[in-house]
Chain A
Amino acid sequence: MIKFTNEDLFAVWSNVSYFLNQNDLRNLALVSKQLSNEVALPNLWKKIHITKNPVIRKDQFYLDCGTSYISGYRAAIKSGDQNDIFLYDRLERLISANKLYFYHIKEVIIDEGIFSNITDGIPLIEKLLSQLVELPDIQKISVHDHKIYARYHDDIQRIPSLKYLEMLNLKCLPEMTDMKQLTDLKITFSSEMLKTKFIFSDKFTNTLTNRVKRLNISIIDSHISLLDILLLLNERVSFQNTTSLKFDFVHPYQDEENIPSEQIFDLCNQLFQLSKIQKLEMNFCCQLGHCECMEEFLELLAPNMTSLRCISLGESLYQNKGDNLLAEKFDSAIGKFLLNLPDYTSQIKELCIRHDPPLNGLGNDTVEGNYYRRRRFYEEILPELRSIEKLIVPRMLQSISLYEIIVCDLLWNGCTCSHCKKYLQLFDEYLMNHQYYSQNTGSYEDVIPPVMFGYVGDILSQRNRDGLDWDLDAFKVNPVEVFWNFHGYEQVHHFSNYECIFNENLFEPLSVCVSHFFNGYMDHLVGFLPNMKLAMLSNFYYTVSETPQYPFNEKMRRYKCIYD
């Protein structure tokens, strides 16, 4: 029999504890004082994420590990004030534990809009933040509500132990240290920020140049061009050790001429060592049909990305959402980029593709032939990227919703398992009895499958929309419970003589039906991508094994879904 020393035992527990969620850690804390003090409590308090809705708990997916979530009321049907009561109480408990446990805290993330009633909620968040900024060892304070964050911006900048910092201006406080720990930086650009000048100390500039490994350049005003930002940054700083980079490639809508892609590329080349970038997220925003800025930029960029392992390519549209031509143009540009990478068959481990389809699934030229054309395009591209281990397509359902015949198949010719047989017919009844207000026609129109599944896709995407800064971090954040009551959105109403049975309780069964429909896509994907281990399609998370081992409908599959 092997004898373990106490040290061995605690080394094992420290590693194992990564796979324990906060409930498990709490139970572990009750086992012994030593386990509680050395393993459970430090892990329970290390990273705290405050969300409006409770996280979805699923066994064996480990999405909820490594973070303690503080959230509102766990119920499908609830009002904003009911949720507030639980969140308020839990935050008060958290704050009251300040002296006992706050020294364990390393990271705190606070989502936006967590309270319905901001009059009561915001003072409590501020009370918490006032205590957090006093902690000498805290490494990250991320507040997704910009107004609240702005009030603590300066206080947070003064914390010397920070590893993550979000900057809302390009000023360095006089009392700010050189932030020797800083490795992760987010700069949020607004129009006001472009009018200001850099006030960085030499020490801080040195930190940015040599220490920042992860950089997120975020643009919140759509009329700011990436070119202007790069020009501004190039005046004063460079990020020579950055290995993870995220930026928005914005071609402002007021600028009808082509923007100089070559100049943007040159500036990027000066600001970063492109050959060092391992993780890249780019969000493209250009909706001029004739403009080739994205294609040109990607063509220049691709051959330089020798170290690239993780790539996320997204589009953001303000108009023309659902235009098949634009969607195909985006597909084509990213396809060329991926196949122009130096070693595309073996270098890419993580791929995320984010489209920007319309909310209600109604687009232009979204006929069956165009769906198959786009599908065939990906069927040709993806098998070339054989090394992919993680695939993320956050808006897959909304993209599919554009093609009426496909979502009609989901509803009427889809899965025939007992669950789908029971529930899909109900949603047929839903369509027969509900209408939405169409802004195009200025009248109420029948809800059709693209509209319904467009809304469903939007709700599913809300499950991690607030918690995620990087799409490629999808597997690091646990999705939260968000349900649709089958009304609202574009004034969806039932007929006055219909006794409506549709509410939040029916959303989860519908999600399961959609996940079964997605099995068809997963069957293909696991074939194309032999190394795939994880996938996320419209917030349906999949674990993929090398051999068929997960039973489903009396067959064995290589993958299992969070909703199986």
Chain B
Amino acid sequence: MLQFKLVLLGDSSVGKSSIVNRFVKDSFDEFRESTIGAAFLSQTVTIKDDDQDVTVKFEIWDTAGQERYKSLAPMYYRNSNAALVVYDITQADSLEKAQSWVHELKNKVDDNNLVIYLVGNKVDLTKDDEEKRVVDRDVAEKYAQENGLLFNEVSAKTGEGIQQIFQTIGENLYEVRKKENTTNNSNMANRAHGQVDIQLPRPSTNDSTSCCS
């Protein structure tokens, strides 16, 4: 199983925790309280590689968007493999804030393979009343293209587009890791517990199929 660190960034109240909650628990809370510091969750997606199922596990860092946590930002995104930068399509400022996050990530994260996904949340609010939209999809999409970001608009409330975000990130990261492995010839096995990867064969006497088991 491959494991990647994914961090959510964005202004306060844009719906970062709700996106994570929809992805991890498939639920939505109308009265969610602000995140304090950070919340850590994990979830897996399965991707196909030549008819073979590959499990990708995300270690998700759901961060606090309030300004008072700004000093923690470098700690949030350090060593991350992917970043979900979220804005609220009904709040114009939130796209600007998202753009500043993208700028900071590009300047501070020394990893060319970092996958950044720009996400416009709360599309459900504009289904019945398009006037509530204040961030034009084309504007955000164009910005994403110019900066080499993945992009989509989603709704954490209805679940629209949520699974697809993580699926796409998983596929991208898998491709990146595959390329790295081809060049580095390194091992892709799980490195949980911070150990050197050692494949320990079971001695034949401990073989569960043996008559002595």
Binding site for B on A (CB under 8 A): 73, 75, 78-79, 81-82, 84-86, 88-89, 92, 117, 120, 432, 435, 444, 446, 485, 487-488, 491, 493-498
Contact = CB atoms under 8 A, between A and B. Distances in A.
A78 B38 CA distance: 12
Interface residues of B, number: 23
B76 A493 contact: no
Given A89-B72, A92-B71, A435 B78 contact: no
Given A78-B40, A85-B72, A92-B71, A488 B194 contact: yes
A153 to B, nearest CB: 28
Given A78-B40, A86-B37, A491-B195, 11 more contacts: A85-B37, A85-B38, A120-B74, A444-B200, A446-B206, A485-B193, A488-B193, A491-B198, A494-B200, A495-B201, A496-B202
Contacts of B74: 120
A491 B194 CA distance: 11
A82 B72 contact: no
B75 interface: yes
B199 interface: yes
Given A85-B37, A85-B72, A92-B71, A493 B200 contact: yes
B195 A493 contact: yes
Contacts of B79: 81
B143 interface: no
B73 to A, nearest CB: 10
A497 B202 CA distance: 8
A120 B75 contact: yes
Contacts of B59: 79
B195 A488 contact: yes
B199 A496 contact: yes
Contacts of B199: 496
Contacts, number: 56
A122 to B, nearest CB: 14
B200 A82 contact: no
Contact of B202 (A117, A487, A498): A498
Contacts of B78: 81, 117
Interface string B182-210: 00000000000111101111100010000
Contacts of B75: 81, 84-85, 88, 117, 120
Contacts of A435: 200
Nearest to B213: A432
Nearest to B196: A491
B38 A82 contact: yes
Nearest to B76: A85
Interface string B49-84: 000000000010100000001011011101100000
9 contacts: A78-B40, A82-B61, A85-B76, A88-B71, A88-B72, A485-B193, A488-B194, A493-B195, A495-B202
A427 B116 CA distance: 43
A86 B198 CA distance: 33
A86 B199 CA distance: 35
Interface string B24-36: 0000000000000
A439 to B, nearest CB: 16
Contacts of B40: 73, 75, 78, 82
Contacts of B195: 487-488, 491, 493
Contacts of B202: 495-498
A132 B48 CA distance: 57
Residue with the greatest number of chain B CB neighbours at <10 A, chosen from A85, A444, A496? A85
B126 to A, nearest CB: 34
Contacts of B198: 491, 493
A92 B71 CA distance: 9
Nearest to B38: A85
Contacts of B69: 89
Contacts of B206: 432, 446, 495
B196 to A, nearest CB: 8
Sort A-B residue pairs by CB-CB distance and give the 3 closest, nearest first: A495-B202, A496-B199, A487-B193
A73 B36 CA distance: 12
A494 B192 CA distance: 12
Given A84-B75, A117-B75, A496-B202, A89 B194 contact: no
A73 B61 CA distance: 13
B114 to A, nearest CB: 16
Contacts of B38: 82, 85-86
Contacts of A73: 40
A79 B198 CA distance: 21
Interface string B136-180: 000000000000000000000000000000000000000000000
